Amino acid sequence: QKEVEQDPGPLSVPEGAIVSLNCTYSNSAFQYFMWYRQYSRKGPELLMYTYSSGNKEDGRFTAQVDKSSKYISLFIRDSQPSDSATYLCAMGVQGAQKLVFGQGTRLTINP
């Protein structure tokens, strides 16, 4: 079993839709949870960073962590074509040191 599981997709939705991206994990020691966006042939870009259960909102993005279920989500509201990218969840025990990444979900927002 992988430490972090993420549905690779691809996921295709119409512009304006609400997108839900999810990851599950097995290591209860993970304390820090991140979501990265990666455009084709580019390095990952940090979107959201949380370290507690609950919701964290930043503009159109909401990160949700449920430590009891070992489940994290990223919601994108009012999705735009520019949101089309691969989204990677990442987790760490000590902050951002030695992150473990999910496989990434390829998302396409259709105009």
Partner 1 sequence: GAVVSQHPSRVICKSGTSVKIECRSLDFQATTMFWYRQFPKQSLMLMATSNEGSKATYEQGVEKDKFLINHASLTLSTLTVTSAHPEDSSFYICSAIWGTEAFFGQGTRLTVV
Q: Residue 32 or 64: which CB sits closer to partner 1?
A: 32
Nearer to partner 1, 29 or 96 (CB): 96
Minimum distance from CB of 94 to partner 1 (Å)? 9
**What minimum distance in Å lies between the beta carbon of 105 and partner 1?**
10
Q: Give me the least distance between CB of 88 and partner 1, in Å please.
A: 7
Q: How many CB atoms lie within 10 A of CB 82?
A: 8
Task: Using alpha carbons, select from 46, 68, 67, 70 the residue that is nearest to residue 58.
Answer: 46
- Closer to partner 1 at the Cβ: 18 or 46? 46
Burial class for 41, CB neighbours closer than 10 Å (0-12, 13-18, 19+): exposed
CB of 16 to partner 1, least distance (A): 27
Angle 72-74-79 from CA coordinates, rounded to 5°: 165
> Do 22 and 4 form a contact (C-beta atoms < 8 A)?
no
14 vs 41, beta carbon nearer partner 1:
41
Binding site residues, partner 1, CB under 8 A: 6, 8, 32, 34, 36, 41-46, 49, 88, 90, 95-104, 106
Q: Quickly tell me which residue has 């020691």 as its tokens.
A: 29
